């Protein structure tokens, strides 16, 4: 399993700078997000109702559709925002593809698992094994307040640079079955 690659450069190549800048205001505001093969789909409330937005991310140039008026003329801010949402918070996109942690055999599968699993889920599993957030905090050198802020932002689909490394530590602890 592998998440399809999408980069900000791909979006910059098709989107005007002003639309890409405006798109940043819409990141994290999509709902009903899905990955369907090579297409990402999401809905967003725009100025004139709810827009259905799609982005085919394995095409060059990127193929898109949006129900807003601007999209008929150019790559709109909603399509760019859907792409940015996928880049920054891929876990908000539902996928029929799932991978069990015990079946991870490649780095691509590990990346897929990390991007599609919430940190809160892993921390809850640690708690069940008797490893609290305070112990995790001491182990990784990240304050309890920082972890709490990361978890709170994750609920709002915001991404922190520390999220994936913390997830990796959680996975390591869960897999090693340490004595508490």
Task: Check whether 180 has a pLDDT greater than 80.
Answer: no
Q: Which residue has the higher pLDDT, 99 or 110?
A: 110
Residues 74 and 144 in one domain: no
Instruction: Count how many domains the chain has.
Output: 2
- Residue 44 neighbours by CB distance under 10 Å: 22
Q: Which residue has the higher pLDDT, 141 or 48?
A: 141
Residues 129 and 170 in one domain: yes
Residues 77 and 25 in one domain: yes
Residues 68 and 13 in one domain: yes
Residues 85 and 135 in one domain: no
Of 95, 127, 160, the last residue of a domain is 95
Kindly report, residue by residue over 66-104, the tens digit of the pLDDT. Answer: 999 888 999 999 999 999 999 888 877 877 677 788 888
Q: What is the reported pLDDT for 51?
A: 94
In a domain, residue 108? The reply is no
Q: What is the reported pLDDT for 2?
A: 59
Average pLDDT, the chain: 88
In a domain, residue 79? The reply is yes
Task: Check whether 151 has a pLDDT greater than 60.
Answer: yes
Q: CA angle, corner 53, sides to 25 and 18, nearest 5?
A: 40
In a domain, residue 148? The reply is yes
Q: What is the reported pLDDT for 3?
A: 66
The pLDDT confidence band at residue 27, using thresholds 50, 70 and 90, is: confident
> What's the predicted TM-score (pTM) here?
0.63
Could you tell me the end-to-end alpha-carbon distance of the chain, in angstroms, rounded to an integer? 33
Q: Which residue has the higher pLDDT, 58 or 40?
A: 40
Kindly report, residue by residue over 113-127, the tens digit of the pLDDT. Answer: 887 788 999 999 999
The Cα 178–Cα 172 span in angstroms is 10
Q: What is the reported pLDDT for 94?
A: 76
Residues 73 and 145 in one domain: no
In a domain, residue 20? The reply is yes
Domain span at residue 169 reads 118-176
Residues 41 and 83 in one domain: yes
Of 41, 63, 95, the last residue of a domain is 95
Residues 14 and 89 in one domain: yes
- Sort strands 94-95 and 31-36 into parallel, antiparallel or unpaired: parallel
The pLDDT confidence band at residue 1, using thresholds 50, 70 and 90, is: low
The Cα 63–Cα 38 span in angstroms is 11
The Cα 81–Cα 25 span in angstroms is 8
In a domain, residue 102? The reply is no
Of 44, 64, 95, the last residue of a domain is 95
């Amino acid at each position: 399993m592998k998440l399809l690659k999408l980069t900000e450069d791909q979006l910059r190549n098709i989107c005007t700078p002003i639309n890409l800048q405006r798109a940043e205001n819409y990141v994290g505001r999509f709902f009903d997000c899905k990955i369907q093969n090579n297409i990402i789909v999401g809905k967003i409330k725009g100025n004139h109702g709810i827009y259905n937005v799609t982005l085919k991310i394995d095409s060059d140039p990127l193929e898109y559709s949006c129900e807003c008026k601007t999209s008929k003329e150019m790559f709109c801010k909603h399509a760019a925002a859907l792409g940015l949402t996928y880049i920054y918070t891929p876990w908000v996109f539902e996928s029929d593809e799932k991978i069990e942690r015990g079946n991870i055999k490649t780095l691509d599968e590990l990346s897929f698992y990390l991007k599609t699993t919430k940190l809160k889920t892993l921390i809850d599993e640690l708690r069940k094994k008797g490893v609290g957030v305070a112990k995790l905090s001491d182990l990784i050198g990240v304050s309890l307040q920082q972890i709490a802020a990361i978890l709170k932002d994750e609920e709002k689909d915001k991404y922190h640079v520390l999220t994936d490394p913390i997830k990796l530590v959680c996975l390591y602890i869960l897999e090693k079955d340490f004595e508490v």
